[in-house]
């Protein structure tokens, strides 16, 4: 796509289900936010798993009399509150239910969720549950464009779809270099997509596309393909 076309292209408004993040390197990317339906189904899967654990524990500990019943109550409390936290922290933000729906919990900046945020968002589940069946939590998700429940608001987290990120590889010998001009988001994507598809292009097609995007290169008089690959490496934060 020519530079002039990229500059004049109208920017499509973001959908409410997308959250845009800009990295310190100036690269922007989007997170697709999960809605109430996907989150509700994930909760249902996790509830069935926890219920199965509770049934097994009840059968085993019931054989131990009153001591077993007391131990059961303690274990029920531990499992109910630590089940989501442990999975979110150690399994990349996803409980089994969330993983089955392809969603996970992350910080607002897209980084993996940590202990403090996971504990806070899950401890506030009792507030989201009020007055019954997650009434407050559902209301919060329905009225907010980012589909956050109250626990997410307090913890600075959000539930998003796990995108299968395609590994982008530019030429191995291309030195990372900044572009000669400030690039808009669509222009950054054009350069990165070009570099990522080099292995799939013929030499003639690669030269043809490189000539079109050449105004974005830092060294327009040199090897256009290598220049664009270097700019792509710089945008991806690779060392120079």
Closest CA to 137 of 49, 47, 43: 43
Show pLDDT as tens, one digit a residue, over the chain (240 residues).
444 443 443 334 334 467 777 655 555 667 889 999 999 999 999 999 999 999 999 999 988 888 989 999 999 999 999 999 999 999 989 999 999 999 999 998 888 899 999 999 999 998 998 988 889 999 999 998 889 999 999 999 999 998 643 444 444 467 777 877 777 777 777 788 888 777 777 777 778 887 777 776 655 556 778 888 888 888 777 765
Q: Is the pTM of this model over 0.85?
A: no
Strand-pairing partners, residue 31, are 19
Whole-angstrom distance, CA of residue 162 vs CA of residue 58: 35
Sorted by where each begins, the domain ranges of the chain are: 36-161, 168-235
**Strand ranges for 83-164 from DSSP E:** 103-107, 157-161
Q: Are 93 and 40 in contact (CB under 8 A)?
A: no
């Amino acid at each position: 796509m020519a530079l002039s076309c990229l500059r004049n292209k109208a920017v499509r408004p973001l959908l409410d289900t997308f959250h845009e993040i800009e990295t310190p390197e100036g690269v922007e990317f989007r997170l697709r936010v999960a809605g109430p339906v996907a989150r509700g189904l994930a909760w249902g899967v996790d509830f069935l798993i926890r219920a199965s654990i509770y049934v097994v524990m009840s059968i085993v500990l019931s054989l131990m009399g009153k001591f077993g019943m007391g131990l059961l109550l303690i274990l029920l409390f531990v499992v109910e509150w630590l089940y989501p936290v442990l999975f979110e922290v150690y399994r990349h933000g996803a409980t089994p239910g969330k993983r089955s729906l392809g969603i996970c919990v992350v910080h607002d900046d897209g980084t993996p969720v940590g202990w403090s945020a996971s504990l806070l968002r899950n401890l506030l589940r009792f507030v989201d549950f009020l007055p019954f069946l997650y009434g407050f939590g559902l209301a919060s998700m329905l009225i907010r464009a980012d589909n956050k429940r109250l626990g997410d608001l307090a913890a600075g987290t959000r539930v998003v779809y796990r995108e299968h990120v395609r590994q982008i590889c530019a030429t191995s010998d291309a030195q990372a270099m900044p572009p000669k001009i400030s690039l808009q988001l669509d222009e950054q994507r054009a350069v990165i997509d070009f570099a990522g598809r080099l292995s799939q292009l013929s030499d003639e097609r690669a030269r043809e596309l490189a000539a079109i995007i050449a105004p974005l290169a830092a060294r327009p008089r040199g090897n256009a393909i290598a220049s664009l690959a270097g700019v792509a490496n710089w945008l991806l934060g690779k060392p120079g």
